[in-house]
């Protein structure tokens, strides 16, 4: 079975075409700078060298046309062989606790959630609508970043705010990165030789965005991102948790507008705010060269992760494994060491050698007697979307 996964952003479309029998990627690519004077299409067909083409790509219609043309001219799959298209959708609100076969009602619901995800859902919808226009005879499935966190109990997802804000405006914690947390949780359970519903995990997705999830018997019961992806851990450019009264203070003292504060917290805070850089590799280079702000950013980043690990241990009671994933979680051994240092009271002990070079795509980095396992697992959000799309398709026939 062949499944195409699409991740449409406002000026880019990322895609991967999977052969599901062996979960291999037949074609993967990224169409960028949609709407700019010159667009770029980078792609790679299995077994061949990566290719880059430049052409004017005025909108998503042209981007998807270029993709479907490539699929057909490269003969990567035969006519009528595409079983399904899986679309990444950032916000599923309370409606979508799992993936959904796309019809007009699903489109309308995703549309109604735009106020909750004004940057992402409109772009995701553009991809869906255009893909339906061009490939309307292929079933299409929406897979939501929020869905895995649909199992959060009310005392974890509610904010201590007036009830009406929840009931009338949907003000609550939703959580994000769900496909990644779900995927690595399944991999961790496999690695531990248990069913997903038998394991308690703390999964740490540390990439440009970062979030941590407490998983009990395979279900997400708390997660660090909230109503938006701004809450929780310190990130590349996002502040994570702050005192909400800061908004009033910034407005009163600096006369910053709401838009300026929003921009400050999303784009100019986190690591970038503290040391001027958001790429973790560069921050390490700066720290190694003696930059005190880079050192502070690293210390803050690790400290905040450690606080969440402690909190989620308390929430879960028993933790089978702590799982690191995402670009930073998978690659930054220094950070993993820092996050786990001094946690022997929680049964966590890292083996320095194993931590330096964990097995790929799933490696254990704890010492042999460590009661809590510590795993480094490569995330694969596109594959998880394809798997969920496949499951949805099989359920619908």
**Is residue 145 annotated as a catalytic residue, yes or no?**
yes
Residue 92: its H or E element: none
Whether residue 273 is annotated as binding a ligand: the answer is no
The CB-of-277 to ligand ADP minimum distance in angstroms stands at 9
The CB-of-310 to ligand ADP minimum distance in angstroms stands at 23
Look at the chain and count its residues.
Answer: 397
The CB-of-11 to ligand ADP minimum distance in angstroms stands at 15
Q: Which is nearer to ligand ADP, 372 or 379 (CB)?
A: 379
**Cβ–Cβ < 8 Å for 184, 211:** no
The CB-of-100 to ligand ADP minimum distance in angstroms stands at 24
Whether residue 227 is annotated as binding a ligand: the answer is no
Edge-first strand listing for the sheet containing 210-216: 219-223, 210-216, 201-206, 321-325, 373-377, 362-364
**Cβ–Cβ < 8 Å for 126, 217:** no
Q: Which candidate, 43, 41, 70, places its Cα nearest to that of 57? A: 41
Beta strands in the chain, from DSSP E residues, in sequence order: 2-8, 13-19, 24-32, 39-45, 51-55, 82-89, 100-101, 140-144, 201-206, 210-216, 219-223, 321-325, 362-364, 373-377
Cis? peptide before 255, omega within 30° of 0: no
Whether residue 88 is annotated as binding a ligand: the answer is yes
The CB-of-281 to ligand ADP minimum distance in angstroms stands at 4
Whether residue 206 is annotated as binding a ligand: the answer is yes
CA distances from 255 to 66, 249, 251, 267 (A): 46, 9, 4, 19
CA distances from 197 to 88, 218, 347 (A): 25, 4, 22
**Cβ–Cβ < 8 Å for 336, 329:** yes
Nearest-5° Cα angle at 84, 99 to 388: 30
Q: Which is nearer to ligand ADP, 215 or 280 (CB)?
A: 280
The CB-of-235 to ligand ADP minimum distance in angstroms stands at 9
Q: Which is nearer to ligand ADP, 18 or 324 (CB)?
A: 324
Tokens of 86: 């899986």
CA 283, distance to chain mean position in Å, is 22
Whether residue 328 is annotated as binding a ligand: the answer is yes
Q: Which is nearer to ligand ADP, 39 or 236 (CB)?
A: 236
Q: Which is nearer to ligand ADP, 285 or 344 (CB)?
A: 285
Q: Which is nearer to ligand ADP, 172 or 336 (CB)?
A: 336
Q: Which is nearer to ligand ADP, 320 or 332 (CB)?
A: 332
Whether residue 207 is annotated as binding a ligand: the answer is yes
CA distances from 231 to 74, 76, 140, 174, 202 (A): 43, 42, 31, 11, 17
Q: Which candidate, 179, 205, 149, places its Cα nearest to that of 88? A: 179
Whether residue 14 is annotated as binding a ligand: the answer is yes
Tell me which residue has its CB nearest to ligand ADP: 327
**Cβ–Cβ < 8 Å for 366, 349:** yes
The CB-of-332 to ligand ADP minimum distance in angstroms stands at 4
Chain residues in the site for ligand ADP (CB under 6 A): 207-209, 236, 279-281, 326-328, 331-332
Whether residue 232 is annotated as binding a ligand: the answer is no
Choice among 145, 222, 320, 332 that is catalytic? 145
Annotated binding site: 7, 14, 88, 205-209, 279-281, 327-331, 381
Sequence ranges of the binding site for Mg(2+): 7, 381
Binding-site positions for ATP read: 14, 205-209, 279-281, 327-331
The binding site for substrate consists of 88
Catalytically active residues, by annotation: 145
């Amino acid at each position: 079975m062949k499944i195409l996964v699409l991740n449409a952003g406002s000026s880019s479309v990322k895609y991967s075409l999977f052969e599901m029998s062996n979960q291999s990627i037949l074609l993967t690519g990224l169409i960028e700078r949609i709407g700019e004077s010159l667009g770029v299409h980078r792609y790679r067909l299995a077994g061949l060298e990566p290719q880059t083409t430049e052409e004017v790509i005025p909108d998503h219609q042209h981007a998807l046309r270029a993709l479907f043309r490539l699929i057909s001219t490269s003969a990567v799959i035969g006519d009528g062989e595409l079983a399904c298209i899986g679309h990444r959708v950032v916000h599923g609100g309370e409606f979508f606790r799992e993936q959904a076969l796309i019809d007009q009602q699903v489109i309308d619901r995703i549309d109604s959630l735009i106020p909750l995800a004004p940057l992402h859902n409109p772009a995701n919808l553009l991809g869906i609508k255009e893909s339906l226009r061009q490939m309307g005879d292929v079933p299409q499935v929406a897979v939501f970043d929020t869905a895995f966190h649909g199992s959060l109990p009310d005392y974890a997802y509610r904010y201590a705010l007036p009830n009406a804000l929840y009931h009338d405006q949907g003000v609550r914690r939703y959580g994000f990165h769900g496909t990644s947390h779900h995927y690595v949780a399944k991999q961790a359970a496999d690695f531990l030789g248990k069913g997903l519903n038998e394991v308690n995990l703390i999964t740490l997705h540390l990439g440009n965005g970062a979030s941590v999830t407490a998983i009990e018997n395979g279900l997400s019961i708390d997660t660090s991102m909230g109503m938006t992806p701004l809450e929780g851990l310190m990130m590349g450019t996002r502040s994570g948790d702050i005192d909400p009264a800061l908004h009033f203070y910034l407005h009163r003292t600096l006369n910053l507008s709401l838009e300026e504060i929003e921009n400050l917290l999303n784009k100019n805070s986190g690591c970038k705010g503290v040391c001027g850089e958001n790429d973790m590799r560069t921050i390490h280079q700066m720290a190694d060269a003696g930059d005190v702000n880079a050192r502070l950013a690293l210390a803050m980043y690790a400290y905040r992760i450690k606080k969440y690990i402690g909190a989620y241990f308390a929430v879960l009671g028993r933790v089978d494994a702590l799982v690191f994933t995402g670009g930073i979680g998978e690659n930054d051994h220094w950070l993993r060491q820092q996050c786990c240092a001094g946690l022997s009271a929680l049964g966590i002990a890292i083996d320095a050698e194993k931590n330096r070079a964990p097995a790929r795509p799933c490696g254990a980095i704890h010492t042999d007697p460590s009661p809590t396992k510590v795993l480094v697992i490569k995330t694969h959000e596109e594959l998880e979307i394809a798997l969920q799309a496949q499951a949805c398709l099989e359920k619908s026939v």
